[in-house]
Amino acid sequence: MRPEEKLGRELPRYREELFDFLRIPSISAQPSHQDDVRRAAAWIREDLERTGFAAELVETEGHPVVLGEWRGAGPEAPTLLIYGHYDVQPPEPLPEWDSPPFEPSLRNGRIHARGATDDKGQVFLHLKALEAMLRDGGSLPVNVVTLFEGEEEVGSVHLLPVVERLRDRLACDAVVISDSNMYAPGIPSLLLSLRGLAYFELRVRGPARDLHSGTYGGAVVNPAGALARILSSLHDDRGQIAVPGLYDDVVEWDEETRDAIRTLPFDEAAYRRECGAEALGGEEGFSTLERSWIRPACDVNGIASGYTGEGAKTVLPATAMAKVSFRLVPDQDPERVGQLFRRHVANVAPPGVRVEVVELHGGHPWRARPEGAFFEAARSALRQGFGELPVLTGEGGSIPIVPAFEEVLGAQVVLLGFGLPGSNMHAPNEWFPEAHVEKGIRTLIHFYREAGKAPLRGPRGKDPAPRS
Amino acid sequence: MRPEEKLGRELPRYREELFDFLRIPSISAQPSHQDDVRRAAAWIREDLERTGFAAELVETEGHPVVLGEWRGAGPEAPTLLIYGHYDVQPPEPLPEWDSPPFEPSLRNGRIHARGATDDKGQVFLHLKALEAMLRDGGSLPVNVVTLFEGEEEVGSVHLLPVVERLRDRLACDAVVISDSNMYAPGIPSLLLSLRGLAYFELRVRGPARDLHSGTYGGAVVNPAGALARILSSLHDDRGQIAVPGLYDDVVEWDEETRDAIRTLPFDEAAYRRECGAEALGGEEGFSTLERSWIRPACDVNGIASGYTGEGAKTVLPATAMAKVSFRLVPDQDPERVGQLFRRHVANVAPPGVRVEVVELHGGHPWRARPEGAFFEAARSALRQGFGELPVLTGEGGSIPIVPAFEEVLGAQVVLLGFGLPGSNMHAPNEWFPEAHVEKGIRTLIHFYREAGKAPLRGPRGKDPAPRS
């Protein structure tokens, strides 16, 4: 029986299994759910074993990584690494859910559950595509290694050491990741870029203790006011980031790519409605999609200082703090951005306060090579599954492990997402389009099949070229 | 027996009574201490009655006002209104106190207790000066009305209606208030000015909910960034407040007064040490004392937005808020400042966010008329009590009831304080100099006596001139 026929026959069972998987509250951030996270890992391992994989839990200091291997295509065939994560965001605030987050509910063509899109639902598509092809004596033209982690929602802190330690077993020709959205309903997409991240905490200290703002106001430098001055110095009047040198490493995109972005159907009114903003803003000379995909951004993620309760407290606060993050594009480097940011802050901070910059998180930007057999396989597979060739899109967010995969494994990464915009990843009422279960599995079956036609890249597990 | 002799003899008993008074935890802000606040009011009423006053508790919707009247000087003598407050600030944080806040402790010449300076200790000086003069058949050359409230630390919300309702009984020739500090140890002072207050909350709203700063950063206007821009627009590079029109009503002080301030002994290094600031700042062209006494100031009292916990959360916050207050000098008006502030905020707020300005608190600035019989009486009394003529000082903080007394009662206000700088009003380890108990009572006895020589001002309780 062809895998597509098997898919048609087994779909009702697949949906039941998906609901079982989504019922496990694998919330990596909450220690009380530690056993549930491990249960989700075991669920995957057993599923892989039933399909015919050798599977194991690789222990870390945190939650385990599920490593699966099927090498039935033989040493002459290409190898694909499938990465995903089985942990989910905390569901809070619970009262805002229309149905309980861990009791999957199908309504209006949407499967509502925490993790339905991010990322258990999409991991599940891979598991069932593999099952449809391999179980009952089937075969695959590619070797497949799976790497499903349980800490993506808490920063993937233990993943990179595992990848480095197991680099020989993870050696592959391409990495495929389904952890993102399609461009729009009916418009499949392939990701061309991810932005990087450089995230800081700014700490401003003024007087030794909170002072009375009447007695001292006007004579003692106010740390909250100083912080506001520093933060407002981060942009100029044209919406550009005003940190000197910040754009030095920004690669201008070619006109072809910019044209491709410009011709994407984009409904700004719908976008505004979706995020609830009355008007949009940003860097002059760039469209909304360009601003969020291919241009750097700088955001204040939080500020705290002084008295913020009810009523009027006349305090001149001793300290003020802000979280500030930069989204980076090729070839910006988070460390270099950190140096520029520190220098700028030191230049603009007024005398009378001490300012400290603490680096909290960093990740490199990434740009796909939109070519080659695996990329073409993904294009062709999406047309097979959704009836349309995919558009090329960017993603404003960061997946730090993507450039790390390229660097450590020297393999091309293909980002092939099946969610839809507005799917409420990280928010109440997360959902996944029910029709995408079948279409997604169909797409992946085709993708694996096409990937088997890719030429071998040469010796695997080699050291990659040094990063520029 | 002369009152001064009585004072010498009764001082040990006075100190015991002061400690009794300070033991009552009359914390007006904490509902659990409601009975204690009333107990402090009753303590004063009984003390006044023993001295020979007619005294009563005037009920309000909050804590009562203690009204005392002694009109033994007769209708041809002047009348003095003594205002003070018997409520205290909350003592928290308790672990920072070296001795419990409501167990008065005498160490190194300092009486440590919550309320020792602000204001129970200073109210007590008046009570005992009156007692020394009146009890056992003594007399006074002035009629005295006392008005002690229990809500000064929570904004005196019910005081003004009481003053307006009882304006005939409160009619007087002068108001005397002891609720401030002397300029320095050994340097008594009389207050020449108080700054006014205009306190606002700024609320900035952007997207309808918190967004992912990766996905939307650079395209959606960030409310925290917008707030920082608004706040940083409040000052120019020379330290002046950059709200257009704000200085229109600022009365430049005469050179004589500025010279008097300039010649006050001022140790900037000691001031910096006292508040723990590495460097001072403020409006160019003015000294530290001028900046905090006779020039307007604008301070950020608090800011809150987004994520401020541990680590990195990539959120583009939906809202941001700040508390912003202006200290006003004659002839600035809090309402007019509010109009200017609103207009300025509307002008500088970037498109894409909505900004709301909420007025939380306002009070007029005040400047003394440093002349006339009552003012001279205070000068002479301070020399009597402390051996030095007082210097004239300003106060950066606000006492909104002071200009209100002038307006409603049409009477001169004399601010005669006995605390010392660094007395930790509103902070842990509040203290009052033990030697100032005797010196303060001695000063007040002399003041009442001299006040009796003041010429009558004419019909009392008249409508004041309309405010300019």
| DSSP codes, B239-268 | S-B-STTTTTTPPPPPHHHHHHHHTS---H
Residue A284 maps to a domain: no
- The answer on B164 and B209 residing in a single domain is no
CB contact under 8 A, A215 and B304: no
CB contact under 8 A, B398 and A214: yes
Closest-CA distance of chain B to residue A152, Å: 13
Check CB contact of B207 with chain A, cutoff 8 Å.
Answer: yes
Tell me the chain B residues in contact with residue A398 when contact means C-beta distances shorter than 8 Å: 214, 314
pLDDT at A467: 33
pLDDT at A399: 87
Domain that holds residue A80: 3-194+365-451
d(CA B352, CA B439): 62
One digit per residue, the tens of pLDDT, for chain A of length 468 reads: 799 999 999 999 999 999 999 999 999 999 999 999 999 999 999 999 999 999 999 999 999 999 999 999 999 999 999 999 999 999 988 998 999 999 999 999 999 999 999 999 999 999 999 999 999 889 999 999 999 999 998 889 899 999 999 999 999 999 999 999 999 999 999 999 999 999 999 999 999 989 999 999 999 999 999 999 999 999 999 999 999 999 999 999 889 888 989 999 999 999 999 889 988 999 999 999 999 999 999 999 999 999 999 888 889 999 999 999 999 999 999 999 999 999 999 999 999 999 999 999 899 999 998 899 999 999 999 999 999 999 999 999 988 899 999 999 999 999 999 999 889 888 899 999 999 999 999 999 999 999 999 887 654 444 433 333
Query: Mean of the per-residue pLDDT values for chain B?
Result: 94
Confidence of residue B467 (pLDDT cuts 50, 70, 90): very low
Number of residue pairs across A and B with CB atoms under 8 Å?
302
- The residue to which tokens 């941001």 are assigned: B320
Tell me the chain B residues in contact with residue A228 when contact means C-beta distances shorter than 8 Å: 227-228, 231-232, 300, 303
- The residue to which tokens 């909420």 are assigned: B358
Phi–psi pair at B199, nearest 5 degrees? -115, 130
Residue A465 maps to a domain: no
ipTM of the predicted structure? 0.89
- Residue of A464, A465, A460, A463 lying closest to A172 (CA atoms): A460
pLDDT at B136: 87
- The answer on A169 and A64 residing in a single domain is yes
Q: Which chain B residue shows the shortest CA-CA distance from A353?
A: B278
Which helix or strand (DSSP H or E) is residue A322 part of? Answer: strand A319-328
Residue B112 has pLDDT above 70, yes or no: yes
Going through B131-249 in order, the beta strands assigned E by DSSP cover: 143-149, 174-177, 189-194, 196-205, 211-212
- Residue of A116, A105, A149 lying closest to A21 (CA atoms): A116
Q: Which of A214, A279, A307 sits opposite B352 (nearest CB)?
A: A279
pLDDT at B93: 85
d(CA A423, CA A427): 9
Residue A287 maps to a domain: no
Residue A256 maps to a domain: no
User: Chain A neighbours among B 275-304 (CB < 8 Å)?
Assistant: 275-283, 288-289, 291-292, 295-304
User: Chain B neighbours among A 339-358 (CB < 8 Å)?
Assistant: 350-354
Report angle CA B450, B452, B454 to the nearest 5 degrees: 85
- The residue to which tokens 């300003």 are assigned: B394
CB atoms within 10 A of CB B221: 23
CB contact under 8 A, B352 and A280: yes
User: Chain B neighbours among A 220-259 (CB < 8 Å)?
Assistant: 220-222, 224-225, 227-229, 231-235
Tell me the chain B residues in contact with residue A307 when contact means C-beta distances shorter than 8 Å: 301-302, 323
- The answer on A341 and A205 residing in a single domain is yes
CB atoms within 10 A of CB A14: 19
Residue A268 maps to a domain: no
d(CA A277, CA B49): 65
CB contact under 8 A, A299 and B316: yes
d(CA B83, CA B152): 11
- The answer on B153 and B67 residing in a single domain is yes
User: Chain A neighbours among B 318-337 (CB < 8 Å)?
Assistant: 318, 320-323, 325, 327
Confidence of residue B194 (pLDDT cuts 50, 70, 90): very high
Q: Quick one: average pLDDT of B454-465?
A: 54
Q: Which of B280, B320, B426 sits opposite A220 (nearest CB)?
A: B280
Tell me the chain A residues in contact with residue B211 when contact means C-beta distances shorter than 8 Å: 275
Q: How far is CA A154 from the centre of its chain?
A: 12
The CATH number assigned to the domain holding B7 equals 3.40.630.10
Closest-CA distance of chain B to residue A357, Å: 13
Sheet with strand A174-177: strands edge to edge: A54-58, A65-70, A143-149, A79-85, A174-177, A412-415
Write out the DSSP string of A396-408.
SS--THHHHHHHH
> Which one of A229, A303, A325, A360 would you mutate to disrupt binding with B, by most B Cβ within 10 Å of its Cβ?
A303
> Which one of A92, A117, A220, A289 would you mutate to disrupt binding with B, by most B Cβ within 10 Å of its Cβ?
A220
- The answer on B32 and B122 residing in a single domain is yes
Describe chain A by its helix, strand, coil percentages, rounded to 5.
Answer: 35, 25, 40
Helix (H, G, I), strand (E, B) or coil at A6: helix
- The answer on A350 and A407 residing in a single domain is no
In this structure, chain B runs to a length of: 468
Token digits for A116?
Answer: 């339905």
Q: Which chain A residue shows the shortest CA-CA distance from B294?
A: A218
CB contact under 8 A, B302 and A301: no
Tell me the chain A residues in contact with residue B364 when contact means C-beta distances shorter than 8 Å: none
The CATH number assigned to the domain holding A223 equals 3.30.70.360
Q: Quick one: average pLDDT of B269-297?
A: 94
Residue B152 maps to a domain: yes
Spatial neighbors of B106 by CB under 8 A, at least 6 apart, are B112, B434
Q: How many domains does chain A fold into?
A: 2
Helix (H, G, I), strand (E, B) or coil at B153: helix
The domain boundary, picked from A362, A397, A420, lies at A362
Report angle CA B186, B188, B192 to the nearest 5 degrees: 150
- The answer on B220 and B94 residing in a single domain is no
Tell me the chain B residues in contact with residue A221 when contact means C-beta distances shorter than 8 Å: 277, 279-282
d(CA A213, CA B195): 11
CB contact under 8 A, A291 and B219: yes
Write out the DSSP string of B33-67.
GHHHHHHHHHHHHHHHHHHT-EEEEEP-SSSPEEE
- The answer on A438 and A411 residing in a single domain is yes
Which helix or strand (DSSP H or E) is residue B299 part of? Answer: strand B297-306
- The answer on A180 and A104 residing in a single domain is yes
Residue B48 maps to a domain: yes
Token digits for B259?
Answer: 């010279």
* pTM (two decimals): 0.88
- Residue of B149, B201, B144, B203 lying closest to B175 (CA atoms): B144
- The answer on A74 and A27 residing in a single domain is yes
Report angle CA B419, B68, B65 to the nearest 5 degrees: 75
d(CA B266, CA B391): 13
- The answer on B71 and B12 residing in a single domain is yes
Segment B123-147, tens digit of pLDDT = 999 999 999 999 988 999 999 999 9
> Which one of B28, B193, B267, B323 would you mutate to disrupt binding with A, by most A Cβ within 10 Å of its Cβ?
B323
CB atoms within 10 A of CB A13: 10
Question: What phi-psi label fits residue A251: left (phi over 0), alpha (psi between -120 and 50 degrees) or beta?
Answer: beta
Q: Which of A291, A351, A354 sits opposite B281 (nearest CB)?
A: A351
CB B156 within 8 A of CB B62: no
Segment B45-87, tens digit of pLDDT = 999 999 999 999 999 999 999 999 999 999 999 999 999 999 9
CB A434 within 8 A of CB A428: no
Residue A415 maps to a domain: yes
CB A272 within 8 A of CB A284: no
Which helix or strand (DSSP H or E) is residue A453 part of? Answer: none
As beta bridge partners, residue A433 has A110
- The answer on A356 and A369 residing in a single domain is no
